[in-house]
Amino acid sequence: MKERLSGELGEIKEKLWSINKQMYDNPELGDQEYDSMKRITNLLKEHKFTIETGVVNRPTAFKAEYISNKPGPTIAYLAEYDALPGVGHGCGHNLIGTMSVGAGIVLSKLVNTIGGRVVVLGTPAEETNGAKVSMSAEGIFNDIDVAMILHPSDQSYESGDSLAMDAIQFAYTGKSSHAASSPERGINALDSVIQLFNGINALRQHVTSDVRIHGVIPEGGQAANVVPDYAVAQFYIRASNRDYLNELICKVKHIAEGAALMTGATLEISNYELSYDNMITNDTLSKIFTKNLAETSELAIHATKNGSGSIDMGNVSQVVPAIHPYIGLNKPGLVHHTKEFADQTITKDGYQTLVSGVLALAQTGYDVINDAALLKAIQEEFKYSKLEQKGEL
């Protein structure tokens, strides 16, 4: 039965490749991926998926379902299709989208025999304001048994961890004045921002080694002879788990408040992007996927790639067993978020990545549906990981 998956892929792989190249040629930024969404959902409709668009009030988000006539687990594949400004698909989301859609279609051809349900979720704006955050919070994954996404990279890596992240904005309001003739009448908002940076730099000595804090000053005044009455700092603050990040955010906010007291400015704190939780890889599911990828790809699969970045798949992994492995583009050293990376997605190697990735994802979905003991082990590990993260073991 499992051998049928390769044959089903043969029926659609050229169409998937065409969509991959069309997305490369027409990159769309987050929450603007109208053309990409249309191409993907049209293909899913051709293969009898029921489509719901505008999910979680995001116009380019969608949920596609194929429900079999037999009971069984629900397998979800997550599609991304947003590009980066200036470099297009420098993170390979054109491949991510087509691999997930392809896996969903291929697996759907078997579920009327083996049972279960296949879901493909279109998740816009991963690079900025990831829709998976809202989907996780609003219950989209409540009736899903496992969730998978496969990310292109220079080489193949097992699913690993990511950092929890908050995007915090600190806006200080002071009072303008002539910086030379009457500086005593001014309240320098930029000084507050500078003290904020100084305080955060001092804090770096007293945080765990996984923490990453990096910020910019998008607004800091207009002219050197005018006391700045408004200044803004924006920070990404990251840590290996959500609980520790929450503690860290409290400390940073206290520093920000102290900076306002030092200068006399007022302070407004806000989140300027959605918050990402840390990724919890389900190792049981990951091992099955790795085994399948080894059968579909000739490239070596390296040990877990623990990133220092943050992904909205982390939020998904908090509510359902999930994996986020990497599949190689056969170019070691290739760097994400570059034009060179985007170009590699439409090469011969990119084609092989698409074919291998679709088949490995579909085979893993088949295994979960067809093996009740495997699904139980996945679910038990998920429960254990959640208790472990909460410190309740």
What percentage of residues in the chain have a pLDDT greater than 90?
94
Q: In the chain, list all ranges with CATH 3.30.70.360.
A: 164-271
Contact, 345 vs 84, CB < 8 A?
A: no
The CATH number corresponding to 164-271 among 3.30.70.360, 3.40.50.300, 3.30.465.10, 3.30.450.70 equals 3.30.70.360
Contact, 144 vs 76, CB < 8 A?
A: yes
pLDDT band at 3 (very low <50, low <70, confident <90, very high): confident
Q: What is the pLDDT of residues 344-393, one digit of tens each?
A: 999 999 999 999 999 999 999 999 999 999 999 999 999 988 877 767 66
Please list the helix, strand and coil fractions of the chain in percent, rounded to the nearest 5, in that order: 45, 20, 35
Q: What is the pLDDT of residues 261-293, one digit of tens each?
A: 999 999 999 999 999 999 999 999 999 999 999
Please give the mean pLDDT across all residues of the chain: 96
The DSSP line for 259-284 is HHHHHT-EEEEEESS--BPPP---HH
pTM here is 0.91
User: How far are the Cα atoms of 161, 191, 255, 358 from residue 93, in angstroms, in the given order?
Assistant: 19, 41, 38, 14
Look-up: residue for tokens 């048994």? 145
CA distance 30 to 42: 20
CA distance 226 to 246: 37
3-state SS assignment for residue 57: helix
pLDDT band at 309 (very low <50, low <70, confident <90, very high): confident
Question: Is 319's pLDDT higher than 80?
Answer: yes
Amino acid at 28: E
3-state SS assignment for residue 331: coil
- What is the topology classification, in CATH, of domain 4-161+277-389? Aminopeptidase (3.40.630)
Q: What is the pLDDT of residues 89-120, one digit of tens each?
A: 999 999 999 999 999 999 999 999 999 999 99
Task: Report pLDDT for 209.
Answer: 93
